[in-house]
Amino acid sequence: MGILLLLRPDVHPRTQEKDHMDEETQEWVYILGICSKEKPTLGGTRIKTRKRNIAAPLDPAAFADAVIQIYLDNAGDLELVAKNLESSGLNFSRYGDTFFEVVFIGGRTQPGTIKPDEGESHPYSVIECEPQRDLILPFVIYIQKILRRRPFLIKNLENVVRRFLQSLELFEDNERKKLAIFSALAFSQKLSGLPPETVFQPLLKDNLVGKGLVLTFITDFFKEYLVDNSLDDLISVLKRGKMEDKLLEFFPSTKRTPEAFSEHFTQEGLIPLVEYNDKKIFEVKLKEMKSALTSQIAEEADISEVIETVKQHVKDAKLPDGEVIRILWDVLMDSVQWSGKNQQQNANSALRQVKTWANLLNTFCTSGKLELELIYKVQVQCYEDAKLMKLFPEIVRSLYDQDVLAEDTILHWFRKGTNPRGRQAFVKALEPFVKWLEEAEEEEE
């Protein structure tokens, strides 16, 4: 018969003897009608011990040996290798990194190196084949098959590729080329598990860049990728890898100039990439110039200071004269405080701006060709901006009054202008002014 002993919390076990209990305590003890001076026990109670999670010992070496044996048994036939791996029952979830080491190097790598660890290896790895796209492409397709069946390995592929690219100095020249070809083909084939940042970001290590290894790698990458893809495709990859505006970072610091970029990739036959980079640099310099002018005009700086700023940017960026005229007009009109739909106030504001900064425009409208460029710019802006649509003739008249536009330039545009955007309406609107010009010309004769 079991004994149920209920004690008050304030009663110490050593005070449980009958002679020392008060009546109330004795009532608790004798609930079952049994009392004993011996220490009570609880019958029928099992003391459970917590089970420990005993992990199986890690054995990447045995896993690598098993994968290598499958390669050897199938003489490197990647289709057969993939098929046998599928039915092997190997623990890929635990040894994903080891698996891709076997794919790329032929065996496990020693910690901190790319050298195979002790044990067997196989001669059918990416590093062991020739640096040719037709020989490396099957590896990309093979990895695609593996990842479709085991998508959890995507992270392992990223880990291994990142580690190898951060260790470029440990590879031989032709081995680095194989990695570049593999990376290019991986993007070309849209290999899942290898996002662009996984390839590009690890390359930006100062020691790798400084030795010129990164520039060689990325050059091989660009050349291989552009075999089957367009420059736009390459730019898309660079954007996803957050490298679109950082191409110079692949160059050693002593050669990190637009001129060095142009010279290097021109010699490598990548002219479209050179043209793209030149355009990007040009756009950046235009933006810088526009920003500087906007600040000065907003602060109502002295016009001589603004002119010097423009000249300095033109010199540094080698900006074409026509582009300078377009920027000047954009900045001036962007600085106007427009007043909604009030056409008269808008007209007054625009004409006031022209009059205020006429000398700035005059300084750079140094030929009939540049004056015509300015008229075309005004024409397009008035066509595209509804609030300026009716201001075209007034703006042209104001530019004439401030000696920015010559009479011959206006008449040439009126008679032979080639830009069709809004031309028919603007020609009609300008007729009264042109008629006045022609009559004044006749009177002078």
Are 362 and 370 contacting, i.e. CB atoms less than 8 angstroms apart? Answer: no
The string of pLDDT tens digits covering residues 11-70 is 444 444 444 445 544 554 444 444 444 555 445 545 444 444 444 445 888 999 999 999
Instruction: Judge residue 347's burial from the number of C-beta atoms within 10 Å of its C-beta, 0-12 exposed, 13-18 middle, 19 or more buried.
Output: middle
DSSP secondary structure letter of residue 111: T
User: CA 381, 387, 434: angle at the middle one, nearest 5?
Assistant: 65
Q: Considering the domain 337-444 in this protein, what is its CATH number? A: 1.25.40.180
The string of pLDDT tens digits covering residues 112-142 is 666 666 667 899 999 999 999 999 999 999 9
pTM score: 0.70
Looking at residue 247, its amino acid is L
State how far the Cα of 393 lies from the Cα of 65, in Å rounded to an integer. Answer: 84
The string of pLDDT tens digits covering residues 180-229 is 999 999 999 988 778 898 889 999 999 999 999 999 999 999 999 999 99
The domain locations on the chain are 1-39, 60-245, 337-444
